[in-house]
Amino acid sequence: MSDEEPPKRRWKAKPPKAAGGGERQLQTRVKNKKLDESSRNWVKRHLNDPYVARARADGYRARAAYKLIELDEQFQFLKRGLRVIDLGAAPGGWAQVCVKRGCKVVGVDLLPIDPLEGATFFQMDLTDPATPPVLLEALGGPPDLVLSDMAANTTGHAKTDQVRTGALAEAAAEFALAHLAPGGAFVTKAFQGGLDTELLTRLKQGFATVRHAKPPASRAESSEVYVVAMGRKA
């Protein structure tokens, strides 16, 4: 799943403007005293986020849709007719973008995902050896594009969160290296500090280009970056 859920107690698209075209946006205060400070800050930030309002207006399930749109504007990896596997697909925002671009999409997540016309979703664990064959069969062949916006639930400890999300990015990279069609592309979230050095080296050996990017829709205070690998070598 993406990291757009409120914190748990357990472990070129232009930036949107306010309604009416102005630059200012009224701030919403959070008065629920039952929330702890971290949750209250998350809710306040979420309510006042212009990308959240834009996602509602455009019919996207999550503001993360604009991260993918902005990454594609920079790297142009989304093309009509591609076969796409979306790892950690919940709630389905990235899948929506791909379907609108005319792609065939198969997504997987530990969480259930509401149905989406043009996409097939599975509630499975990517690390289960039984999962990849199911995804490939549903897709009808090897993917042209593998996407991952997976992030582990945050613990509040930056180093732990980086390691846990890094492990998910590495699992996604291993899947892409094993199954992508020649010429295909791979996009994954990774915290600053990036992927494991050895794995990053393997990506550079297996793809024509490997780049890091932080799209405007990624919150400035977030340590997330994206790795974009294009041109899978045969």
Contact 12, 70 (CB under 8 A): yes
Q: Structurally, how many domains does the chain consist of?
A: 2
Q: Above 50 in pLDDT, residue 25?
A: no
- In this structure, are 24 and 135 located in the same domain? no
159 is catalytic: no
CATH code for the domain in which residue 85 is found: 3.40.50.150
pLDDT digits (tens, 9 = 90+) for 130-164: 999 999 999 999 999 999 998 776 666 666 666 77
- In this structure, are 212 and 168 located in the same domain? yes
Nearest CA among 133, 142, 135 for reference residue 234? 142
Residue 1 falls within a domain, yes or no? no
Query: How many Å apart are CA 70 and CA 216, to the nearest integer?
Result: 7
Catalytic residue among 14, 31, 189, 214: 189
Helix (H) / strand (E) containing 146: strand 145-148
Task: Output the six-digit token pair for 6.
Answer: 């409120």
The separation between CA 179 and the C-alpha centre of its own chain, rounded to angstroms, equals 19
- In this structure, are 29 and 123 located in the same domain? no
Residue 11 falls within a domain, yes or no? no
Give me the residue label for tokens 């472990």.
Answer: 11
- In this structure, are 44 and 74 located in the same domain? no
- In this structure, are 106 and 139 located in the same domain? yes
- In this structure, are 92 and 36 located in the same domain? no
Residue 2 falls within a domain, yes or no? no
- In this structure, are 106 and 170 located in the same domain? yes
Residue 4 falls within a domain, yes or no? no
Query: How many Å apart are CA 233 and CA 172, to the nearest integer?
Result: 17
- In this structure, are 35 and 116 located in the same domain? no
- In this structure, are 43 and 70 located in the same domain? no
Residue 60 falls within a domain, yes or no? no
Contact 91, 109 (CB under 8 A): no
Give the per-residue pLDDT at 62.
Answer: 92
Residue 8 falls within a domain, yes or no? no
Contact 13, 70 (CB under 8 A): yes
pLDDT digits (tens, 9 = 90+) for 216-227: 999 887 888 999
- In this structure, are 31 and 70 located in the same domain? no
Q: Treating both helix axes as pointing N-terminal to C-terminal, what angle do 93-100 and 65-75 enclose, rounded to 10 degrees?
A: 50
Write phi, then psi, for 110 (nearest 5 degrees).
Answer: -70, -25
- CA dihedral of residues 113, 120, 153, 5 (deg, nearest 10): -40
Q: How many other CB atoms are there within 10 angstroms of residue 138's CB atom? A: 16
What CA–CA distances, in Å, run from 129 to 124, 133, 134, 175? 11, 8, 10, 11
> What is the extent of the structural domain holding 30?
17-48
Average pLDDT, the chain: 83
- In this structure, are 150 and 35 located in the same domain? no
* ∠ Cα 95 17 192 (to 5°): 55
- In this structure, are 98 and 40 located in the same domain? no
Residues in Cβ contact with 51 at an 8 Å cutoff, skipping those fewer than 6 apart:
15, 16, 63, 66, 217
Query: How many Å apart are CA 140 and CA 162, to the nearest integer?
Result: 34
Q: Above 70 in pLDDT, residue 38?
A: no
Residue 5 falls within a domain, yes or no? no
Task: Output the six-digit token pair for 16.
Answer: 């949107």
Residue 3 falls within a domain, yes or no? no
Model confidence at 209, in pLDDT bands (50, 70, 90)? Answer: very high
